[in-house]
Amino acid sequence: MLFFRTSSVPRAGRIVCAGGISRLVREKSMSRDLRKYVRQTNFRLIAGGLVLLFIVGDGLIYLIYGSSAAAMGFLCLIAGMIPVVLVALVILLLDWITKRASRD
C-alpha cells in the first residue's frame, strides 16, 4: 500500500508511508547551516577513513601475517599519524589565532 502526500514537502511530525515503510519526518528539527553540515561531513569522512585504515588494514595484516606483524603494523600506523596530527594541530592553532586577532 503506497501513501504519498500531495505536497512536495511533508509537514513536521507527519508519517509518510512508501512501500510499507513508514518514517517520521521532522522538517523543523533540520537546520540549513551549510557550514555545520560541511564540518560534520568532513569529520565523518576522516573518521571513517581512519577506521578503515586501522581496523581493516591492521585486520588484514593480522589475518595474513599474524599477531606480531599486526602489532608492528599498528605501531607503524600510529607513527605515521603523528606528523599528520601535528600539522592539523598547527593549522587549528593558526586558525584560532587569526580568528582571535580579527575580533579586535
Is pLDDT larger for residue 28 or for residue 91?
91
Whether 43 has a pLDDT exceeding 80, the answer reads yes
**DSSP structure class, residue 9:** S
Top-confidence residue, 25 or 50: 50
Report pLDDT for 97: 95
CB 1 within 8 A of CB 16: no
Cα gap 30→12, rounded to integer Å: 10
